[in-house]
Amino acid sequence: MNIILLGPPGAGKGTQARKLVEERGMVQLSTGDMLRAARTSGTDMGNKVAAIMDAGELVTDEIVIGLIEEQLTTTTAPGGFIFDGFPRTLGQADALGELLAKVGQTLDTVVEMAVDDDALVKRISGRFTCGSCGEVYHSETKRPAKEDACDECGENNFKHRADDNEVSLRVRLLEYYKKTSPLIGYYYAKDLLQSINGLDTMDGVAASISKALDG
Ligand code: AP5
């Protein structure tokens, strides 16, 4: 089963994708994670996208489509792919359909995680991640059991993202409403859209996603 988790910044896409990987053996394809890996590796592409990401703007379709194409043609995913943060424009959505067809696969469902802007600001401002394994935490809703060790890998390497500040969050939200939210109609028209309440607790959201996937 290949699915898209669609939602604004901070909706909980990464949190839920990691759960699905653990529980269903799916493969998470996060363009945000791929771009962050590229910028720390100091490649030309990484340097090019760093300033764009920090400002909260979208990088070009060409770059992210290239990243997804590389993964789709080199990765096997018996449990299916979770597209997290991709597609984000209508051009990316068309490209995803073509890429999946090229590798003999289809898109099964698009889960829209609906969250209001006040909750997004709270979620983004409290977020921190483990720089070693990528586990996502929150200062109020998901703290590690021990203050100085990641629950998953035990490392003490917590980080705040450079784009998790008020100014770039405002830009990220605008980008979402202008360029990404039209995908809700796009996938509704293709009869692939299922909307869930992203304001629920993490377990509540996970249960709604399971219901959407299992029917
Ligand atoms: P990306 O990394 O994709 O960021 P995003 O879409 O802004 O999403 P986030 O990672 O901020 O949020 P999330 O929905 O994953 O929430 P999370 O689970 O962490 O993209 C970053 C940048 O890269 C973009 O701005 C752009 O520049 C570029 N980019 C990436 N993809 C691109 C593309 N396709 N095209 C062009 N450019 C692209 O949760 C947030 C917090 O809330 C956490 O602290 C978590 O613990 C907490 N939380 C989660 N769920 C709940 C809950 N139910 N209740 C309470 N707290 C919760």
User: What is the full per-residue pLDDT of the chain (215 aa) written as tens digits?
Assistant: 999 999 999 999 999 999 999 999 999 999 999 999 999 888 888 998 999 999 999 999 999 999 999 999 999 999 999 999 999 999 999 999 999 999 999 999 999 999 999 999 999 999 999 999 989 999 999 999 999 999 999 999 999 998 998 889 999 999 999 999 999 999 999 999 999 999 999 999 999 999 999 98
Cα 11 to ligand 1 centroid, rounded to whole Å:
7
Cβ of 90 less than 6 Å from ligand 1 = no
Whether residue 77 contacts residue 20, with contact meaning beta carbons closer than 8 Å, is answered with no
What DSSP string runs through 18-53?
Answer: HHHHHHH--EEEEHHHHHHHHHHTT-HHHHHHHHHH
Catalytic residue from among 146, 161, 170, 178 = 161
Residue 71 in tokens? 């993964």
Please give the span between the terminal C-alpha atoms of the chain, in angstroms, as a whole number. Answer: 13
Query: What residue's CA is closest to ligand 1, atom 50?
Result: 12
| Mean per-residue pLDDT over the chain, rounded | 95
pTM over 0.75, yes/no: yes
pLDDT at position 209: 98
Cβ of 13 less than 6 Å from ligand 1 = yes
Whether residue 61 contacts residue 52, with contact meaning beta carbons closer than 8 Å, is answered with no
**What are φ and ψ of residue 21, in 5° steps?**
-60, -45
Whether residue 30 contacts residue 38, with contact meaning beta carbons closer than 8 Å, is answered with no
pLDDT at position 42: 86
**pLDDT tens sequence across 14-49:** 999 999 999 999 999 999 999 999 998 888 889 989
| Ligand 1 atom, smallest distance to 88 CA | 34
pLDDT at position 215: 81
Q: Where are the beta strands (DSSP E) in the chain?
A: 3-6, 27-30, 81-84, 109-114, 127-130, 136-138, 158-159, 193-197
Distance (Å, whole) CA 215 – CA 26: 18
Whether residue 212 contacts residue 187, with contact meaning beta carbons closer than 8 Å, is answered with no
Residue of 5, 54, 58, 205 with the most ligand 1 atoms within 8 Å of its CB, for mutation: 58
